[in-house]
Amino acid sequence: MELIALGVCVGTLSGFFGIGGGTVSVPLLMYLGFGIKEAIGISVMQMMVGSLMAAWVHQKKKTYAISDIKYFGFGGLVGAIVGAVLVKMLDASILGWAFLAIVAFTLGRLVMSSPQPTRPEIVNRPLYVAIGSGIGLFSGMLGVGGAVLMTPILVTFMGFELKKASAIGLFFVMFTSLSALTTLGLLGMLNWHAGAIMALSSLAGIGAGIWLLHKIQVNHYKQVLIAFYSIIFSLTAYKIIAG
């Protein structure tokens, strides 16, 4: 029941915040007793299923044009493979601190960014591939979909509107989670039973989260997003420091 409830919760947050869910599920799975490496594997399975559902819903709503943003995903595929291999090699404490650093960076960029574009939206497919590759590396290594980095980068440096950036971030998750899932599976690092329960449960919340995303005003959305990342940062920091 705990995994089912967590799956529904993560699915809703994923659709609303445009994240794969790793920023929520990894620390909470650790609280439920899973080790960080096992939590990363479960998280990746949930992200794969949830991002597919989200991409289908956003396609129906015409939130973005796939013709250009798919290049973020192509880069993410390669980067996530490398990152997933590093999970096998690195110490768990290193992964924990790296995860905390990513959340801290995201929080800082969100606080300083404007929810409305301050520059023209940059369309550059090779640059999209390069950005996707870099974010994909962290995605595979830390069990996060990449939207936790994608959203502030698109808003701060690429001229994207905040809600659109969040939706694109979740689209990106589809590529990185597929790559990471395949690699972790081949390395024998997946808890298939727990991952399947959480992944299927998350589908119930995805649609509701996306509906809320389209309803909320963008200024209010930024405030909620900052509060959300602050909570995740606090939970993760406490878990790492407390051991």
Question: pLDDT tens for residues 163-221?
Answer: 888 889 888 888 888 877 888 888 888 899 999 999 999 998 998 899 999 899 988 98
pLDDT digits (tens, 9 = 90+) for 213-228: 989 998 898 888 888 8
Record the tokens describing residue 17, joined without a space: 């915040």
**Gap between the Cα atoms of 50 and 207, Å rounded:** 10
How many Cα atoms occupy the beta-carbon half-sphere of 161 within 13 Å? 11
CB < 8 Å & 24+ apart, contacts of 190-194: 190/41, 190/42, 190/44, 190/45, 191/34, 191/38, 191/41, 191/42, 192/45, 194/3, 194/34, 194/42
* Amino acid 127: pLDDT: 95
> What per-residue confidence (pLDDT) applies to 116?
76
The per-type count for the chain, helices as H runs and strands as E runs, is 10, 0
Residues of the chain whose pLDDT is less than 70?
143-145, 243
The confidence score (pLDDT) of residue 243 equals: 61
The whole-model pTM stands at 0.77
